[in-house]
Chains A and B, each alone.
Chain A
Amino acid sequence: NAGVTQTPKFQVLKTGQSMTLQCAQDMNHNSMYWYRQDPGMGLRLIYYSASEGTTDKGEVPNGYNVSRLNKREFSLRLESAAPSQTSVYFCASSEVTSGGRETQYFGPGTRLLVL
C-alpha cells in the first residue's frame, strides 16, 4: 500500500517547455487534488477532481490543465512553463468514511524549477 505517489520528484524546465506531473493513489479514494506551495506559504489549490470523470478549477488554475485518467490517476500538465510556476507541487486524495470522518493524504511532492 503505497498511498499517494508522485513522479517526478524533481524537474528543471526552461521557460516555454511543457511537462506532465503524474499522481496515483491506491486507496480507492474518489477525490483527488493538485496544490502548489511556494516558500513560506500554505498550499493553494490548482485543480481538483471530486470523482472519476470530473475536474474543477481551484484557486490558481491559470497555466495548468488536468486529466483524471481513471479513479487512481490524476495528472497535471504545464503546457508552456513560466518562472512563476517554480514551486513544490503536491497531489492529494481524500475520502469520507462511513462514520463521517474525513481523511486527506498527500504525496511526497514534486519540486519544479523553471528557468
Chain B
Amino acid sequence: QKEVEQNSGPLSVPEGAIASLNCTYSDRGSQSFFWYRQYSGKSPELIMFIYSNGDKEDGRFTAQLNKASQYVSLLIRDSQPSDSATYLCAVRLYSSASKIIFGSGTRLSIRP
C-alpha cells in the first residue's frame, strides 16, 4: 500500500463549479498535511497546509481533514480555467517526522 494515495484523474469540472480532490494516507499518526498545485513544467507551489481535524479555508480553497478516516480533501470553489493543473497531496509522516511524502497527484481540468 502506498503511503499517500490520490486518484490520478483527469478530473474535469465546468467553470464556476466546485472541484473536489481527495487523498488518503496510511501512517495513522501523521499530523501535517499539504496541498500543492503544479502547472505543467513548473515546480510545486504550496497552497494549503492543515494539521487539525475539520476544515480550513483560504479564499476559494478549503482543505478538509479527517484523521479517523485517514483522508484529506481539497475543495476549490468557483473553479476557474487557471485552476487547471496537477494537485499534489503530501503528508509529514509520524513514523519519521522529517519525511514529507507525496501522492502521485490528480490532474484537474476546468472546462469553460
Give the number of A-B contacts (CB < 8 Å): 55
In the complex where A42-B88, A43-B44 touch, is A104 in contact with B100 (Cβ < 8 A)?
Answer: yes
Interface of B is mostly: strand
Distance in angstroms between the alpha carbons of A59 and B93 in the assembled complex: 12
- Whether a CB of chain A sits under 8 angstroms from the CB of B101 is yes
Contact residues in A for B49 (Cβ distance below 8 Å)? 101-103
Interchain CB contact (< 8 A) of B34 among A35, A58, A100, A104: A104
- Whether a CB of chain B sits under 8 angstroms from the CB of A77 is no
A35 & B102 in contact (Cβ 8 Å cutoff): yes
B interface residues, tally (CB under 8 Å): 24
Question: Taking beta carbons and an 8 Å cutoff, which residues of B are in contact with A?
Answer: 4, 6, 8, 32, 34, 43-46, 49, 51, 88, 90, 92, 96-105
Nearest 3 CB-CB pairs, A to B? A50-B98, A42-B104, A106-B43
Given A45-B100, A48-B98, A56-B98: 8 more A-B contacts, CB < 8 Å:
A35-B102, A42-B104, A43-B90, A45-B99, A50-B98, A58-B99, A102-B34, A102-B51
